[in-house]
């Protein structure tokens, strides 16, 4: 029987992580689904509660932290993000593969947790989508319509994040959307083939 996987997808803002996760989910539904993370940031245009994110105010988010309901949580870009344990455990136990679009800090927390967690052990796969340089990141952020102050902040963060790629199981430099997807798809299929037990 093939074990279900939890695939962490990280990379700087503008690297295309969201698009990759959406496309793989669409192609391999119902076997693959995305983990819906919780955040304290406000919804962007078109984002829906429980679909793109679980939107929580700071008070509710912190109450869940205190109750130990998160696998990981971190402050990124001035907002808090976290993954609720129930979102992970229920899907993995039912045999579904999960994709988690997560920041570098969160991925490190998962790698550490997997060493002592029977739910995560032998199921965790990490992928880092790299950018050639910060100019490529800036161009992509401008294309998606981020504000100039948000772009400046995200570029500062990207400079640090880009150094994290050696800690991931897989990484590749982003090219065209199609090239990136084929690389990502091949990683999924090769990891899935290894789960035969």
Average confidence (pLDDT) over 90-105: 91
Average confidence (pLDDT) over 50-57: 90
Output b/e per residue, 31-57; b: 16+ Cβ within 10 A.
ebbbbbbbbbeeeeeeeeeeebbbbbe
Copy the structure tokens of residue 40.
Answer: 């304290």
Strands 53-55 vs 170-173: parallel, antiparallel or unpaired: unpaired
Average confidence (pLDDT) over 74-94: 87
> What pLDDT does residue 87 have?
85
Q: Are the beta carbons of 184 and 176 closer than 8 angstroms?
A: no
Q: Which fold has domain 6-194?
A: Rossmann fold (3.40.50)
Higher pLDDT, 77 or 63: 63
Copy the structure tokens of residue 169.
Answer: 């199981």
Average confidence (pLDDT) over 69-95: 88
Average confidence (pLDDT) over 15-39: 94
Write down the mean pLDDT value for the chain: 90
Average confidence (pLDDT) over 26-40: 94
Summarize pLDDT for 3-14 with one digit per residue, the tens: 899 999 999 988
Is 145's pLDDT higher than 80? no
pTM: 0.83
């Amino acid at each position: 029987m093939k074990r279900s996987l939890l695939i962490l997808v990280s990379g700087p803002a503008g690297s295309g992580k969201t698009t990759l996760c959406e496309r793989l989910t669409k192609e391999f539904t119902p076997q693959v689904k995305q983990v819906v993370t919780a955040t304290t940031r406000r919804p962007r245009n078109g984002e829906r509660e429980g679909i793109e994110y679980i939107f929580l105010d700071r008070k509710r988010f912190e109450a869940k932290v205190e109750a130990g309901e998160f696998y990981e949580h971190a402050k990124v870009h001035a907002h808090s993000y976290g993954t609720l344990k129930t979102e992970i455990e229920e899907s993995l136990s039912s045999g579904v593969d999960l994709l988690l679009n997560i920041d570098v800090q969160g991925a490190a927390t998962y790698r550490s947790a997997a060493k002592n967690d029977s739910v995560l052990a032998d199921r965790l796969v990490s992928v880092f989508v790299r950018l050639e340089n910060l100019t490529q990141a800036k161009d992509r952020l401008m294309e998606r319509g981020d504000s100039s102050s948000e772009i400046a902040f995200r570029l500062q963060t990207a400079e640090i994040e880009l150094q994290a790629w050696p800690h991931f199981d897989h990484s590749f430099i982003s090219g065209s959307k199609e090239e990136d997807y084929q690389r990502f798809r091949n990683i999924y299929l090769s990891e899935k083939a290894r789960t035969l037990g």
